[in-house]
Amino acid sequence: MFAKVFSYAWRWIVRPGKAAEDQLYEERSVWIGFWTVAIFGLLYSITAILLWLTGFKPAFATILPIPRDSYYLWQTFFTIPWAVLTWFFAGAVIHLWNHIFSRERRLADILGPLGFALSVPWFFFTWIPETFVAPVLGPWGFPPWPVWAEMIRLAIGVLWMAALIYIAARKVYEANWLRAAGSAILGLAVFAVMFLIFLR
């Protein structure tokens, strides 16, 4: 299973369209998607504990009633459930949207590809800089790099994620560009809401 996860992760980087097509014929595609987001959640849990150990605090107000001084410590424990629930809710919303137009696919068909569409961009543009760069720069406020760099980092990550969700919807549901674009917008909206509620 884990070999499949890493194999598909690479293919979602270099040939996402072909990877999405192939996942439709994977017997355990939904489990591959599940383990992808679970592994990502574990990695981001490590990031949270590193940020707490190096003295970082959330840069803006939190919604959950957790003290800012210990937020990243607590985030360590709910990041994996957050990743799995975000993946499932985003998949359910995308599926309901496409179900309006076509009833040929199941929810499981989109959950497999969606695991990679969400995790691959987040790995490169969130996990790597926040795990290997932020702790080195020190807790002088988060993010510890210039605002313009943060805007570029987030913009590229979000656009890449939107593009991968678009590709997944096109392949899974054989959706036209408008339905696929709607899938990308809805998927990103769910991701953003879940992020704003739980993560910092």
| The pLDDT of residue 97 | 97
In the prediction, which pLDDT does 141 show? 63
Of all residues in the chain, the percent with pLDDT exceeding 90 is 82
Enumerate residue ranges in the chain where pLDDT < 50: none
Maximum alpha-carbon separation in the chain: 52
Residue with tokens 């998607």, as numbered in its chain: 33
Q: Which of 12, 2, 3 is nearest to 119 (CA)?
A: 12
Half-sphere exposure of 156 (CA within 13 A, CB side): 11
In this prediction the pTM is 0.94
pLDDT number for residue 142: 65
pLDDT in tens, 35-59: 999 999 999 999 999 999 998 888 7
Question: What pLDDT sits at residue 75?
Answer: 97
Cβ-Cβ contacts under 8 Å for 148 (sequence gap 6 or more) = none
What are the backbone angles phi and psi of residue 60, rounded to the nearest 5°? -135, 170
pLDDT of residue 81: 98
Residue 103 has a pLDDT of: 82
Pick left, alpha or beta for residue 175 (phi over 0 → left; psi -120 to 50 → alpha; otherwise beta): beta
The pLDDT, as a whole number, for residue 157 is 96
Two tokens at 161? 């994620």
Q: Could you read off the pLDDT of 127-155 as tens digits, one per residue? A: 999 999 888 887 766 677 888 988 999 99
- The secondary structure element, H or E, covering residue 106 is none
Q: DSSP state, 143?
A: S
Cβ neighbour number for residue 112 with a 10 Å cutoff: 26
C-beta separation of 57 from 143 below 8 A:
no
Contact 161, 118 (CB under 8 A): yes
- pLDDT of amino acid 107: 96
The pLDDT of residue 143 is 74
User: Tell me, what's the pLDDT at 8?
Assistant: 96
What was the pLDDT predicted at 140?
A: 64
